[in-house]
Structure 1
Amino acid sequence: MSHPTPYPIGLAGEITRQLNLLADHLVQLPPHEAMQVIARILDPGDGLLDGVTGLVSVSSTFAQTQAKRGVLPAEVWLALGRATNDLDAIGGDLDEHRATLRRVGTQPATTAAKPPAPAPLVVQRHR
Structure 2
Amino acid sequence: MTEVQKILDITFPFVEILLTDYGEFYPLASAVNNNGEVEQIVREEDEENDFPKSSTVIGELKKELRWNRNEFKAIAIFYDITLKEKQTDAVAVLVEQKEEKLAYTFFYAYKMVEGKPIFLESWKVEKEMEIFVD
TM-score for the superposition, normalised by structure 1: 0.25
Structure with the largest fraction of strand: 2
- Greater relative contact order, per chain length (Cα 8 Å cut-off, separation 6+): 1
Structure 1 or 2, whichever has the larger Rg, is: 1
Structure with the largest fraction of helix: 1
